[in-house]
Amino acid sequence: GDSVTQMEGPVTLSEEAFLTINCTYTATGYPSLFWYVQYPGEGLQLLLKATKADDKGSNKGFEATYRKETTSFHLEKGSVQVSDSAVYFCALRAGGGNKLTFGTGTQLKVEL
């Protein structure tokens, strides 16, 4: 079945550091890929998405490139801020229907 594997957290960085959160997937066909972010006490929010190979999704300084050859969708940001502290979920949508399959989430803590 479809699955998403994320690097385990927590990831702790200093402000202005470079961020990478790894995400790989297994799916039939050509899934669409997403990153969602969950701030404390809130629901998940869509951060960015990519719907086909080599697409780059970007938003709020975050970006991720759909790599079909490595089945990966790693999240990156050049300079993180304390306000980026949250849990980040990689997800995919495959086949018919619109349900998402999520990874286990990676907690990011950014310190001053």
Partner 1 sequence: DSGVTQTPKHLITATGQRVTLRCSPRSGDLSVYWYQQSLDQGLQFLIQYYNGEERAKGNILERFSAQQFPDLHSELNLSSLELGDSALYFCASSVDVEGGNPPLHFGNGTRLTVT
Q: Given the rule CB under 8 A, which residues bind partner 1? A: 32, 36, 41-46, 49, 51, 89, 93, 96-105
Going through 1-112 in order, the beta strands assigned E by DSSP cover: 3-6, 11-14, 19-21, 23-26, 32-38, 44-50, 56-59, 62-65, 75-77, 86-93, 101-102, 106-111
Largest CA distance in the chain: 44
Number of other CB atoms surrounding residue 24 within 10 Å: 17
CB of 88 to partner 1, least distance (A): 12
The Cα–Cα gap between 2 and 63 comes to: 23
Q: How far is the CB of 89 from partner 1 (least distance, A)?
A: 7
> To the nearest whole angstrom, how small is the minimum distance from the Cβ of residue 56 to partner 1?
16
Of the pair 42, 112, the CB lying nearest partner 1 is at 42
Closer of 10 and 78 to partner 1 (Cβ): 10
CB of 17 to partner 1, least distance (A): 26
Q: Which CB, 44 or 86, lies closer to partner 1?
A: 44
